[in-house]
Each structure stands twice: as C-alpha cells, then as structure tokens.
Structure 1
Amino acid sequence: MKNYFILILGLLTTAVFAQQPQTNGRPPVKKIKLTGTVIDQETQEVLEYATISLVNERFPDRIQGGITDSKGNFDLEVFPGKYNVTIEYIGFDKIQYDEKVLRADENLGTIALRIAAESLDEIELVGERTEVEIRLDKRIYNVGKDITVRGGSVADVLDNVPSVSVDVEGNIALRGNENVRILINGKPSGLVGLSGPQGLRSLPAESIEKVEVVTSPSARYEASGTAGILNIILKKEELEGFNGSLVVNGGLPTTFGGNASLNWRTKKVNIFSTTSVRDSESRGGGIFESENFDPLRFVNEQREYIRNRKSIFFNLGTEYNFDEKTSLTVSGFIRRSDNESNNSTEIENLNASGLIIDQFGRYQFEEELDNSQQFTANFTKKFDDKGHELVIEFQTESSAEDENDLAENTSTFNQESESLEDQKRTLLQMDYVWPINENTQFELGYRGDFSFQETDYNVFDLLDSGRTPNVQLTNFLGFTQNVNAAYTQFGQKVNKFSYLMGLRMEKTHIEIDQKTIDVFKEKEYTDWFPTLNLSYEFNEKENVTLGYSRRVRRPRSWSLNPFRSLTSLTFFRQGNPDLDPSYSNLFDLGYLKRWEKFTFNGSVYLQRATQVIERITEATGALVVVSQDPLVELPEFRSTSINLSENTRTGTEFTLTYSPKRQVRISGNFNIFNSFTQGSYNGTVLDREIVSWFARVNSSFPLPFGINTQLRGFYFGPNANAQTESKGILTFSGALNKSVFNKKGELSFSVSDILNSSRRKSITETPDFRNYTEFQWRQPTYVFTLTYRINERKMDRKRNRNGGFGGGEEGEGPDF
C-alpha cells in the first residue's frame, strides 16, 4: 500500500513539473509513449488495475506510471531516460525491467504475470473459490464462486461449508449437533424466527460474502448454542458509484426466482438494497410403521407431501459518514411468504399375522402466511488509534405466522385448525474496543435481548351438529424471554504466542403464561460463561490453537407448552413447562499447516453437556378412535422433551485441500465423533452410545469451451439419540458454469441430490413399541441460473487492490 501512495505522490509531482517546465532557454523535452497489455499467464485473462511504475535513478523520488484499463492496456507518457520499470498486481509475481532505456515510443507487448505461490498458500478452497481465514476463536469461509449454489439460498451455502450439515428436513447442524446458533451480521434475525432455519430460504445465496464457523466463541458472542455459532455475513460493496448484480433462475420441480443486489456509494453516502422473489414446489413423503408389543398389533402409515412456497424479500439501507471516523447506518427488511402444503396419509391396521384389518386415510391442506420485518440502526465511532472504536446498535423486529389447516378423515369426523403466532423482539448492544498497544487489546460490552411471543391455536371438530371447538387442543400461550448480558475480554500477542480470555454474564428472565388453563410459570437465573482462546504460530504456514467456552441451550416456547399438537391421528407432540436449560463445556484443539499445493486444517474437540434436552416418544396407554364404522381404536403416541443427565461428545475433523493449479481444486472434509448419552425417564434407562461420521468432497476443474464444472459428494453416517437410531445418508450434487456477455455474466446449471438418495431412515425402540420412519423432504432439483454483473468486475479488481475488505464485521473478534 505504501508503494501506491508513493506512486500517487509521484504522479502529482510529475504533473506539477509538467505544468512548470524549467527549460533554461533550451527547447522543452518532448514526452514519449510507453504502451503494453497485462494478462494473467495461466488464464490469459486481462488484468485491470495492474500497476506500472517507472523510477529514474537520477530522480528516485519522482515516480511516474499508471494503471491498466478494463482491457488490460496501459498508455503512459514519460520523458526519455533510463528507468527501472515495474509491472505488478496484487497476488501475482511482479515483472521488472531494470535500467530500461527509453528514447522513443515503445510497446512492451503482452506482459504475462504469474500468480504468486504464497498467494495460493494463503487460502484454502472449498468448492471453486471459498477461502478460509483462521482466527483465534473461529474459521471464516469466504463464499466465492461456488457454482453448485447458484440460484439457491443461504441453506444451500451452509450445506457446502466444512463442519456444517443440513439434513433432509432443512435442519442445520454443526459437527452433528443441531443446537447451533445462527446469526446474520453478528445478530439474531427475523429470518431465523418463528419458522426456524426455513426462513433462510428467502435469502439468496448471491447475497452472502462469508460464513463464520465459531466452534470456540469468545465472550463477545451470546452464550446460546451448545454446538457453537454460524455467523452469516452479507455482502457490503466498497466501490464508489453504482454497481450490483441481477440473477434469474428456473428449474424442476417447478422453481422460478430472481434477485437484484444494487449499491450506490459516494464518499459520504452508501445506499444498498437486495430484492429476492421465489416460487418453488417441492415433493416429498415417507412411511411410518409402528409395532405395538402388548397387545401385538401393527400400524403402517404412508405419507406424501406437496409443498408450494412463494416468497419476496426486500432489504434497503443507507450508510452516512459524518467524517472518516464517524458513521451511522440504518437498514431494514421485509419478508412475505405464502406457503401451501397438501399432505396425504394412508393408514393400514394389521393383526399379528400381518393381515390388513382396516384401511383409512387423513388428508390435510395447509395454508401459511408468514410476515417478518426488521429495522436496525448502527452508530460507529472510531478513535485515533487503529482498532479503537465504540459501536452502539439498536434492532427491532416483528414476525407473524398465520396458519390454517383442514384435515379430512375418511373414517371419522374432519378437523379444522387455525394458528396465529406473533413475535416481537428488541435488541440493544454496545461494544467498546481499546487497543492498549499494537499487540494488546481490551474490550467490554453490553447486550439486551428482549422478546415476547403469543401463540393462539384453535382446533375445531367438524361434526354433523356443526363446527365444535376441540377443548383438548385449543389453547393460548404467552412466552416472554429477556436476557441482559455484559462481557469483558482481554487479548495479547507475545512474539508467536497469542491469547484471548473473557468472561460473560447473562441474566435470564422467562415467563410461561398458558392462559387456557390459567397456568403461569416464571423462571430467573444468572449464569457465568468464561472463555479462553490460545494460539501459537510456528511460522507463517503453521500454527496451533486451543479454545474453551461454556455455552447454554434455552428451551423454545413450543417445547414448554403443555398443550397437544397433532401430527397424525395417532401421534401428537406436547411441551414440558418444567424443562430447564442445558449447559455445555466446549474444548477445541486445532492445527493448520500449509504446503505449496496442499493445506491441512484439523481439530480435536470435546463437548460435555449437562441437563441435556432430548426429545423422547412414549405410548400414552390410551386408544384413539380412527374409525367409527366399524369401530377401530389404535394406540396413541406422544413426543415430548425432557432433561436427561448428561451427554459427552468427542470427535476429530480435518479439511484437506489440494490445488495443483488455479482452476483445478479438490477439497475433502471429514468428521468423526463419539456421542454418549446417560439418563433415565419413568424408570427406563435411556443410555445410548454411538459413533457417527460425515464426509464431504468437493472438486472443481475446467472443461473445453470455457466451461467450469464442480462436483460435490456428502455422506452423513448413522446417528442416534436416547431412543432413536438414524441410518446414513449419501448425496451427490453437481454444476456447470460458463461466462457470457463478454464476461459480465454467467450461465450455470446445477443438479442437487443426483441419485435421489437424500432420505432419512430411523428406528425408535422402547419396551412397549417399535417405530420405523422413512422420510424424504424433497426430490432432486434441476436449476438454470443466469447472472449479470453491473460494474462488478471493476469492483472485484478494486477490492483486490485494497487488499480485501479487511476490518472486522459485526460479531467478529480481534485479529491477534
């Protein structure tokens, strides 16, 4: 960067001397032209913004030169003389012509720069271009040109991040643990609200800049999430002027969508927006087989689902810079989705000999309207010292979910249900960072998270006598959770050793107000969460890290509601108002080593949790009337959550990347862990131990005619909890990509679940019954995506020239 300031100063100096020539009576010296073209040696692509500098040995302070244009050309006017000419570009080896004598116009021709070997070593690639940065408390994956997620959503991006898995129902897990906290720009978001991770499908993959995988969170982060934190950082453009991208996609099963990300920036003001629309259909289904031991009987259920989802997402924000050190950013988004679902369940009642006694069905039509809106204001004040800053943030959001359900039963009365959920949330946050010196940093902050949720659930039996309220299911629940937190942390770098230690206090107040049965419960507890992260750097290419943190998992409102929620005629879910939080201690030992063409990143981890929240299934002992003529009664099953004693999870994972050349990359991620759960419920011992693993392989390579291809395979091994054991799942995906519109756009084709093998198969066994479940959330998808970039190519070059985005994002820890 110093060279560029010198270059600019030299250009200004040259301009001044040019305007005031000192001729001393002699004829003025005429300038000559120096021209040429700069390209990438390997890809033969032109390099825009490459730097050409000329230094005269007699006047070393008078640097002349310039940069290449959009076609890689340069055309400079210089005085005749002897120069040291340097052509350079960030990330490439420079080319230098020493003592070059220039007497007349000269064309240097095509100058091919070779990418620097150390630049390849500095990044680890996942998919085509997903870089990884290692920090004391996290790994940061910069989402690059991963063509398998074109036209997809945030969930598709997360499914390609090492250590992360997304199951067939869209549930997100970190190292096999689904209790992971998902943040957007370091904060909770209405996109992860009432619908859980499903709301993330409204956010296009193209809007994501990077994903932070935080397996050993520092004290700055909230303590929720016993597995750790996934922090999704959205793109923020840095180039002045107007730029952005337009994306349209379509495919099978019926899928249409598009998004526009636009940005306009001046020195004082930055205005940015993202608009996304999606219309998709997904088909799935499964089977549910139940064997009741006493008396011996069998029930088989076959379910099919057809889901249609229409959504629109709009985000608008502006950033105003009062001066170089003070800024205010305000932004907001609205999300609307209209979801329809047709579910059919065919039920067979069999005797002990396996003969069908009765057959009947249940057919459901659901319509769900989701609305979310969020407003955020951020004030940042930077002080004279680098990294010295105060950030104050306010966020408010509201979400509403209106669901209507009609269930038609072939053998008994029909049912109709209406569910209305409203959630309001306010967040106040303050972070103060004080760099005591170049290698020492102190930090403290406050966070207040206040949420209130109401659920009004009404069920009606459609009898011959009319629409009758079902008092066993109809209920109204109010849920309040307020968390006040304060933290402090201190970090220092001593030679090759770095450490960051912190302490966080969270005071939680919870109210459960079940108005239907007039039950009010109030809980309050104060917890302390220490953190420690250590790092030792052997050299620039090798380091080792050690992290410890304490985490908490708080029960959600639906797991505390004592009222029933029907899943089928014979199966219902019920909350447990006595459920307590679960606490865990996380230890993580990591190692990173880089070679010329290989990168190895591995870790060994231990997670020990107490008061573990587990979902169990039990027979209630009651019989459910599923047919009145003839009379048929089947056993009833209940699913609820309980606190077991403890769970110990130990494992190891590693990511190995091989990059023989820039356009050929292979990356593999492997994770294996042992999970041991101890506890009992109603006199039944629920101890369970299982070894599970998952592996992911990505490969990308070029094909003829400028086509790039990427293949991805993922296997999630068998898994288990207290009662249920799930079998392994194997999936494959692939994509093709080609530049169009003079490299201003891209056309891609992607296929997910090529083998149609993404199915969850599980077995639940107790002394009273055995259940087998097979479920498929969606069928394979085939999607074409067209992307058009507006000034984005120029924007990318400028980012490289500035050495990347730099700085910390919201929720990011110090860079020791």
Structure 2
Amino acid sequence: MKKLKFAVILVFLFTSFYNYAQQALSPKNKVKVTGKVFEKVSKQPLEYATISIMSANDTKVIAGGITNPKGEFEVAVAPGIYDIKIEFISFKATEIKQQNIESDTNLGAVNLSEDAAQLNEVVIRAEKSTVEIKLDKKVYNVGQDMMVKGGTVSDVLDNVPSVSVDTEGNVSLRGSDNIRILIDGRPSNAINMAEALRQLPADAIDKVEVITNPSARYDAEGGSGLINIILKKGKNQGFNGTFIASTGIPETYGLSANLNYKTEKLNYFTTAGYNYRTNEGRGKTDSEYFNEDGTTKNFLDEDRDTKRIRDGFNARAGLEWTITPTTFWTNSINYQNNTGEDRDLINYNNYDASRNFTGATFRLNDGNTSSENVEYSSNLIKNFNNEGHKLTADLSISRNTDDSNSLITGTDDFNNTLNDQVQKQVQLQADYVLPIGEGSQFEAGYKGNFADLNNEYYVLDENGIALPNLSNTLEYKENINAIYTQYGFKVNKFSYLFGLRWEDTNIQVNLLDTNDFNTKKYNNLFPSAFVSYEISDQSNFSVSYSKRLSRPRGRFMNPAVNYSSNINIFQGNPDLDPSLTDKYDVGYLKRWEKVTFNTSAYYEDTKDVFSFVRSPTGEEVNGVPVILSRPINLGKEQKFGFEFTLNYTPFKWWRLNSNFNLYNVKTSGENSYTNANGELVVQNLDNKANTWFARMSSKVTLPYKIDWQLTGVYNGEQKTAQGKNLGQFGMNTSFSKDILKEQATVAFNVSDIFNSRVMRSYTYLENQTSYGEMQFRRRQFNLSFTYRFNKKKTDRDKNAPKNGGDENGGGEFPG
C-alpha cells in the first residue's frame, strides 16, 4: 500500500510540474504542423525521416523535426505560408509548396518511394548507429559490428548495453540472470540456453532488443526483463545475399550464407551455417579444512583442464506471402544439429596441516553430446488500415532432443553417465491493436504455451548397474495460458500506457523412478504502468512499473547430480517455487547532435528469489568433505541501481559507446537441511552487497578506410552470502577492411586480449575455506571473410514487421 501511495504522489507531483511548465514555457502565437510518414509499398512507418519547413520560395530552414517510431511528426511554427520538405535517406523527397498554415494543420499520411537511382549508386551510405537508444528499450544492430564477425550469439549479447555473458555462457541483464530470452518475439525453446546461444552464428542475427521493464503485452516471465533476438529476414528486391567464412585459434571454422529472393508478392529467405569450435579452459579450487577447534586439518588443491569441441549445423528457411496489400503470411522452419566432445581432467593434490604433500589422485571425464532441434513457426498479419489497426496470429511447434554420455575414470573411480532429454512445445498467440482517435490505442491478446520435457539420467557403476541414489527419470509438464489488455493514450506531451496481464500456470514435476509426483498450480495478475513526458523532440522523461514472474526451469528443477567432481557436486531442486518481482524504473533520454544519453534509476523487490547455496553433506571421499551446491527459494531480495548509456560521435571517423551500471543488493533468508548424519543444519544467508559493471567501446576509421574497434569490460567485486566474487576485466579488439569494390569485407578480431576473463571467488563454509578460478574459454583469434552480391554493405533491410509494431505483434508506445 505504501508503494502505491508513493507512485500516486509521484505522478501527481509530476503532473503538477508539467502543468506549471506548460504555462511558463509554451510558445506564443505558434501553431502545430503534424502528419505521418510511410514507405509507399509496404506502408511501414519511417522513423527518423526529416521534416524541413522553409519560408515560401526560400531555401533557409526555419523549423524542422524528425519522425518517431510510428512515423509521426509535430513541428511548431508561426502562422504563415511555407514550403515543406519530407525526406529519408535513399527515398525520393516529397515537397509541399505554398502551404498556408494559419492554425493547427495535419498533413495526413505522406508516402515516400525508394529512389532507384540512389539504390544503384556504387557508394556507401551513412552507417546506421550500432546502438539505438529508445525510451522503452535499447536496440543493438548486429550487422554494423565487426567485433562479432564469425562469432556466435553469445558474442553478440556480450556487446549489448546492460547485458553481460560470463565465461560459461550464462546471460545476465543488469547483473541478474533472472531474464527471459525471446527469438523473434517468442520464447526460445532451447533446453540448454547457454549452449544454444553458443551454437547459433552471429551473422544470422539482425538486431537485439533489450527491454528492462516490459509492458503487459509481453510474457510475465523474466524478473529482470527481456532480451529479444531478431533473426535476419531479407527484404531487398530481387536475388541477393551474403556469404561469410571464418577460421580461428583455438581451432575454429565456420561457413554461413544468408540468401533472399523477393518478388512483388513473395519473399523467400534462408540462412544456413556450419561451424566447428574448440574451447579450451582451465580451473582450480584450493580448499583449507579445519578441525572443530578451528585449527587447520588439511589442504586439497584441485587443478582442472577442460576442452570442448562443438560441430554444428544450423538452417532456417521461410516464405513471406503478401496475400493482399494488407494481409501478410510468413512460414518458416528452423533446424539445428550439433554434436560435441567434452574432456574434463581434474588432478587432486592432498596436503597435511603443515602443507606437506601427502598424495595425489585424478578424475577424467570424457563425454559426448548431441542435440537436434526442429521448429515450425507461422505468422499471419492483417492490417485493417494505415493507422495501426491490425490483428496478428502466431503458431510455433518444436521438438528438441539433447543427449549426452560420459565415461568417468580416476584413481578410485569408474562410472558411466547417460543423460537423454526430449522436449516438445506448442505456442499459440493472438494480438489485436485498435487505434482510438488521435494518439490513443487499445490492445488485447491471448497466449498459450504448452511444453512437455522427459529427462532420463543414469550413473552406472563398473558393472553397468544404475546407482539408485544418483539416477532418475524426470517428467516435466508445463501449461501456461495468458490474456492481456492495455490502453495507451497521449495528452499534450504526456504519454500513458496502462496494462493488465493474467497468467494461469499448471506445472507437473514427476520423478518416475521414485513415484514422487509434484503439481504446482497458480494464477497471477500482472499490472503495468508507464508515464512519459516529452520535454522536447530530443529529450524524454519516463516513470514505469511492472510485476514480473520467474519460474524455475532446466537444471534448477532437475534433481540429477552433476557428477564431474565427486567432492564438489551440483543438484537441482524440483520443489522450487516461482519468484515474484515488483519493478520500478525512472528514466531520462536526451539526444544532441553528436551525443545520445540515456539514464535510469531502478528498484526491484523480489519474493522467494532463487539462490545457489553450498552445503557440506556430511559425507567424505578419501577424508575430504563432499560439498553440495543446489538452488533454493531464499526469501527476499531488494535491488536498487543506477544505469546510464552514452553514445558519442566526436568526429565522423570516431564513435564511442559506453554503459555503466551500479547497484546494491540486499537478500534475507536461511537454508535448513539434514546432512548425511541426520543432523539438522541451519545456514543464515542474509547479505548486503554493492557492485558495478562498465563497458566502453571505441570505433575508429583509420587511414586506407580500415576500421578499428576496441572494447573493454569490467565486472566489479561482489560480496555473496557465503563468500565473494572478485572483479573481472576483459578486452576485445578487431580490424576490418572493405575490398573488391566494397562488395567484400575482411575482419580480424581478438577476444579476451589479456586472457583475463576468469571467474574468481572465495567461499567460506563451516570448517572449510575455498578459493576458486574458472575460465571456460581462453583468448581467441578469429579471421573472417564476408562477400555480398546484389547488396551493398549498408543497404537498408526493411526488417520491421509490416504490422507497424514490434516483433511480438503489439503496437508502439503512444506518441
């Protein structure tokens, strides 16, 4: 209730301030010129089209502006007779001569046609900014970033503002891995998300949208926000495409093609790629054990050497059919097949209390993995008019398999592990958008997600007999139905968007070997509210609120034991409950000629937050205590942070992008468990911590038109409930050069120049202290060659969906 009162007071004060500012700052004796700019053929709105207003028969511009994401513009001028010019790069400009403007005037819809002469010029047009900062999201355009040429989606995400990827491939947003990843507006169906992102080639991605506070239109899943990965869908007329070949050290090869053929009614698009990747890593865990009186008992040093090989093929083919000028139907099939080898060698060195060597053992894990994913998706869009009135329908059907087996040998060990997973998933979605008058919009929709996962996991002894305490068969079923509605409207310079989403969840977690059946049913309401104030054409202020949900999935729920180490093991928890988050965000956006600045202060209040805890089991292996790591519903987490993103172009040949995030996390809760000796142990996990994250990227055009990009990333030290994670620094660089009359590009990049991206941590447990390091991928060198045919380097792919909204089928934020 206090939070609600605070929000009401905040909106009241802000509205009062606005009314005062309107009276004090409103221009006198001026009228408004408004309108909308569209592309003539597809009827897509054109963002950043320029409007110039000149005195009649004079070339001097006296007023002007740019269009917003809906193609709308508004320019204030004194009454008079004017010439008006509307233009957009590579399109024919439209001029309105001798327009008499005595009062507020709406020019209506202005349709621009592509300029064929410009399209055929052998010149490179102005490059689109790599990072676009919008009021409600950040958009990262992959095609212009040479840093990720020949890389994977994980490399792409590691260059996106507010996003970071650790050395294990786990993605986090604003320092939290409690996020939802979408592909073309739909939840990814991958079983192992980190591995799936490492297998998808970067050149298959068009752009990435980061939405830190989603509206009711989106799934409630993802306590810290959404990341929407948008795949390439060529839109240029005729037959065109791109080929990319790459190689690197450690041993890496890749070959991919993006092809597109477009006619007036049909658009065929396909992406295919093969990649072979080797990741070499290392790690260690140095532990000191204590007696009951606090004196040192002994030491154990674990040294780990890892090598992962992945051999993968990805293909995607689709057809977009323009049934009528207002009806579009797109069908596509996505196929992935990956195999791999994993080698994990751990050497154990034992020492007594005086640090004298007492013996050594080893443990070798040789494994093989394979996965096959097939997905069919269909999207139907019906536009009722050019004002955004539309209906969209989506269907997605997928089947994923993920198999792995490993042979574990060692001084005293011999085991074989088998893990087979099959997931089937169906998603249905319908969205309806209805503009109501000028600047108002109503939306409503339904979404159903139905998933079925079967996981068989076995640990076999030397006789091939399954060990009952380590083997299980998991059956996981998830049915989610959701409906939502939201209404947005604009009053003067204020824009409002209020929404409500309802989700009904039915989850079954069944352990078939032990006949342990667990059903979780719950339904929740998820309100959202957004208020923005347009200070000027170049600056905005916004306040937003949303309620979010995080459901435990994957390895969080699977009780199968990760048996790669017999003294440091991981096990999922099938009894986890979802966590609920209240998110508040206050943001400010300002654009200058050479600078774009976006900052926000945010607060997140989460109940039943997931947390990993390490606990001694009471068991020992060769006198060494066994430590179990597992997720639990900890209790409560409160997070307050400040973030800013700054894009600066001091010269045409130099561009700087930076992102900074500082936050404080307070968690409270305890963990109770019974160890192997039947003893009840209670761990207090209350914790307060401050940490920060920074990224800086510089792109320079050197002589001979050589592009050079340098990126540095730092993750600050963070205290945890059971220790601390140390700071981590990494730097990447790349060079690229256009050749063959700018139809081809050669790029060379180095990931982790100083080989410094190592996860380092201290853990403090009862009777034990440990220091650990883990580096899943060492420094890597990569060389790539890109060739384009019938397509210039910066041809504008008209990727925006013809519905005039976002990739999730909804409309834009009003105004």
TM-score range with shorter-chain normalisation? 0.7 to 0.9
Q: Which residue of 2 aligns with 1:690?
A: 689
Classify 1:460/1:798 alpha carbon distance in 2 versus 1 (closer, same or farther; 3 Å). Answer: closer
Query: Which amino acid in structure 1 is aligned with residue 274 of structure 2?
Result: V
SS at structure 2 position matched to 1:437? coil
Give the one of 618, 637, 644 matched to 1:647: 637
Q: How far apart in 1 are the matches of 2:222 and 2:690?
A: 22
- Superimposed CA distance per residue, residues 266-324 of structure 1 (whole angstroms, 9 cap, x where no aligned partner): 11111111001100111001001222223622221110001111100000111111101
Residues 103-502 of structure 1 mapped to structure 2, 5 A cutoff = 129-135=129-135, 137-190=136-189, 193-294=190-291, 296-384=297-385, 386-410=387-411, 412-462=412-462, 466-502=463-499
Deviation at 1:409, TM superposition (A): 0.9
Residues 723-738 of structure 1 mapped to structure 2, 5 A cutoff = 723-738=722-737
Deviation at 1:472, TM superposition (A): 1.7
Deviation at 1:138, TM superposition (A): 2.4
SS at structure 1 position matched to 2:186? coil
- Answer whether contact 2:488 2:813 (CA < 8 A) is retained: no
Q: 1:539 aligned to 2:536?
A: yes
Give the one of 594, 598, 614 matched to 2:595: 598
SS at structure 1 position matched to 2:555? helix
- Superimposed CA distance per residue, residues 637-657 of structure 1 (whole angstroms, 9 cap, x where no aligned partner): 111111112111111011122
Query: Which amino acid in structure 1 is aligned with residue 448 of structure 2?
Result: G
Classify 1:784/1:805 alpha carbon distance in 2 versus 1 (closer, same or farther; 3 Å). Answer: farther
Q: How far apart in 1 are the matches of 2:423 and 2:390?
A: 33
Q: 1:559 aligned to 2:608?
A: no
Give the one of 507, 511, 514 matched to 1:514: 511
Q: Which residue of 2 aligns with 1:744?
A: 743
Q: How far apart in 2 are the matches of 1:613 and 1:55?
A: 60
Give the one of 500, 503, 513 matched to 1:503: 500
Deviation at 1:236, TM superposition (A): 2.2
Give the one of 516, 524, 528 matched to 2:525: 528
- Answer whether contact 2:302 2:347 (CA < 8 A) is retained: yes
Q: Which residue of 2 aligns with 1:68?
A: 117
- Answer whether contact 2:743 2:793 (CA < 8 A) is retained: no
SS at structure 1 position matched to 2:795? helix
Q: Which residue of 2 aligns with 1:571?
A: 568
SS at structure 2 position matched to 1:197? helix
- Answer whether contact 1:49 1:69 (CA < 8 A) is retained: yes
TM-score for both structures, normalised by structure 1: 0.82
- Answer whether contact 1:567 1:573 (CA < 8 A) is retained: no
Q: How far apart in 2 are the matches of 1:178 and 1:48?
A: 39
Q: How far apart in 1 are the matches of 2:120 and 2:325?
A: 33
Q: How far apart in 1 are the matches of 2:97 and 2:490?
A: 41
What value does the CA root-mean-square deviation take over the aligned residues?
2.7
- Answer whether contact 1:48 1:70 (CA < 8 A) is retained: no
- Answer whether contact 1:239 1:795 (CA < 8 A) is retained: no
- Answer whether contact 2:183 2:230 (CA < 8 A) is retained: yes
Deviation at 1:702, TM superposition (A): 1.3
SS at structure 2 position matched to 1:737? strand
Query: Which amino acid in structure 1 is aligned with residue 745 of structure 2?
Result: E
- Superimposed CA distance per residue, residues 240-291 of structure 1 (whole angstroms, 9 cap, x where no aligned partner): 2111111000111101001101111111111111001100111001001222
Range moving further from structure 2, 216-225 or 576-585: 576-585
- Answer whether contact 2:124 2:792 (CA < 8 A) is retained: no
Q: How far apart in 1 are the matches of 2:258 and 2:224?
A: 32
Which structure has the larger Rg over C-alpha atoms?
1
Classify 1:612/1:767 alpha carbon distance in 2 versus 1 (closer, same or farther; 3 Å). Answer: same
Deviation at 1:139, TM superposition (A): 2.6
Q: Which residue of 1 aligns with 2:812?
A: 814
Q: How far apart in 2 are the matches of 1:746 and 1:681?
A: 55
- Answer whether contact 2:446 2:483 (CA < 8 A) is retained: yes
TM-score for both structures, normalised by structure 2: 0.83
- Superimposed CA distance per residue, residues 26-73 of structure 1 (whole angstroms, 9 cap, x where no aligned partner): xxxxxxxxxxxxxxxxxxxxx99575999999xxxxxxx986366749
- Superimposed CA distance per residue, residues 501-541 of structure 1 (whole angstroms, 9 cap, x where no aligned partner): 10111111111110111111111001111111111011011
Query: Which amino acid in structure 2 is aligned with residue 809 of structure 1?
Result: E
Q: How far apart in 2 are the matches of 1:572 and 1:478?
A: 22
Matched length = 705
Q: Which residue of 1 aligns with 2:658?
A: 668
- Answer whether contact 2:457 2:560 (CA < 8 A) is retained: no
Classify 1:812/1:305 alpha carbon distance in 2 versus 1 (closer, same or farther; 3 Å). Answer: farther
Classify 1:227/1:385 alpha carbon distance in 2 versus 1 (closer, same or farther; 3 Å). Answer: same
Q: How far apart in 2 are the matches of 1:798 and 1:348?
A: 58
Q: How far apart in 2 are the matches of 1:253 and 1:650?
A: 40
Query: Which amino acid in structure 2 is aligned with residue 401 of structure 1?
Result: D
Deviation at 1:798, TM superposition (A): 7.8
Classify 1:743/1:645 alpha carbon distance in 2 versus 1 (closer, same or farther; 3 Å). Answer: same
Deviation at 1:590, TM superposition (A): 0.7
Q: Which residue of 2 aligns with 1:80?
A: none
Q: How far apart in 1 are the matches of 2:40 and 2:619?
A: 80
Q: Which residue of 1 aligns with 2:699?
A: 700
Q: How far apart in 2 are the matches of 1:5 and 1:420?
A: 52
Range moving further from structure 2, 652-661 or 563-572: 563-572
- Superimposed CA distance per residue, residues 306-343 of structure 1 (whole angstroms, 9 cap, x where no aligned partner): 11111000001111111011121111111001110111
Structure 1 stretches of at least 4 aligned residues deviating more than 6 Å after TM superposition: 1-6, 52-57, 802-806
Q: Which residue of 1 aligns with 2:762?
A: 763
Query: Which amino acid in structure 2 is aligned with residue 365 of structure 1?
Result: D
Q: Which residue of 1 aligns with 2:45?
A: none
Where structure 1 has 5 or more consecutive residues not aligned to the other structure, the ranges are 7-46, 58-64, 74-88, 92-114, 124-128, 625-631
Query: Which amino acid in structure 1 is aligned with residue 667 of structure 2?
Result: T
- Answer whether contact 1:53 1:66 (CA < 8 A) is retained: no
Classify 1:454/1:51 alpha carbon distance in 2 versus 1 (closer, same or farther; 3 Å). Answer: closer
Query: Which amino acid in structure 2 is aligned with residue 642 of structure 1?
Result: I
Query: Which amino acid in structure 1 is aligned with residue 273 of structure 2?
Result: S
Query: Which amino acid in structure 1 is aligned with residue 586 of structure 2?
Result: L
Q: Percent identity?
A: 37
Classify 1:458/1:375 alpha carbon distance in 2 versus 1 (closer, same or farther; 3 Å). Answer: same
SS at structure 2 position matched to 1:354? coil
Query: Which amino acid in structure 2 is aligned with residue 138 of structure 1?
Result: K
Deviation at 1:663, TM superposition (A): 2.4
Classify 1:770/1:589 alpha carbon distance in 2 versus 1 (closer, same or farther; 3 Å). Answer: same
- Answer whether contact 1:216 1:548 (CA < 8 A) is retained: yes
Query: Which amino acid in structure 2 is aligned with residue 302 of structure 1?
Result: D
Q: Which residue of 1 aligns with 2:676?
A: none
- Superimposed CA distance per residue, residues 397-451 of structure 1 (whole angstroms, 9 cap, x where no aligned partner): 11111101001112x1311111101111110111111111231000111111111
Query: Which amino acid in structure 2 is aligned with residue 199 of structure 1?
Result: A
Query: Which amino acid in structure 2 is aligned with residue 217 of structure 1?
Result: P
Q: How far apart in 2 are the matches of 1:342 and 1:515?
A: 31
- Answer whether contact 1:48 1:71 (CA < 8 A) is retained: no
Q: How far apart in 2 are the matches of 1:425 and 1:477?
A: 17
Q: How far apart in 1 are the matches of 2:589 and 2:510?
A: 50
Q: Which residue of 2 aligns with 1:783?
A: 782
Query: Which amino acid in structure 2 is aligned with residue 186 of structure 1?
Result: G
Deviation at 1:723, TM superposition (A): 1.9
SS at structure 2 position matched to 1:231? strand
Q: How far apart in 2 are the matches of 1:491 and 1:205?
A: 35
SS at structure 2 position matched to 1:469? coil
Residues 45-64 of structure 1 mapped to structure 2, 5 A cutoff = none
Q: How far apart in 1 are the matches of 2:738 and 2:671?
A: 59
- Answer whether contact 1:48 1:72 (CA < 8 A) is retained: no
